[in-house]
């Protein structure tokens, strides 16, 4: 995942629906955090 992101030619400055749909499998929202599950299998917890 990080290799793919590093190869992107420009920084993201606005929301890109197609890119999001290609990268993210699922987002789970909890009371105090949310978890982003990427299609690569990587998961990231984002705390408040």
Q: Each residue of 8-36: pLDDT tens digit?
A: 777 778 888 998 999 999 999 999 999 99
Q: How many CA atoms lie within 13 A of 19 on its CB side?
A: 10
Contact 46, 27 (CB under 8 A): no
Instruction: Provide the pLDDT confidence category of residue 39 given band limits of 50, 70 and 90.
Output: very high
Q: Would you state the pLDDT for residue 37?
A: 96
Instruction: Provide the pLDDT confidence category of residue 7 given band limits of 50, 70 and 90.
Output: confident
User: Domain count of the chain?
Assistant: 1
Range of the domain at 41: 2-47
DSSP-assigned states of every residue in 2-46? HHHHHT-SS---S--HHHHHHHEEEEEE-SSEEEEEETTS-EEEE
């Amino acid at each position: 995942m990080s290799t793919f992101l590093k190869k992107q030619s420009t920084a993201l400055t606005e929301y890109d629906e197609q890119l999001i749909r290609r990268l993210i499998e699922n987002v789970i929202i909890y009371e105090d955090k949310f978890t982003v599950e990427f299609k690569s299998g990587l998961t990231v917890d984002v705390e408040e």
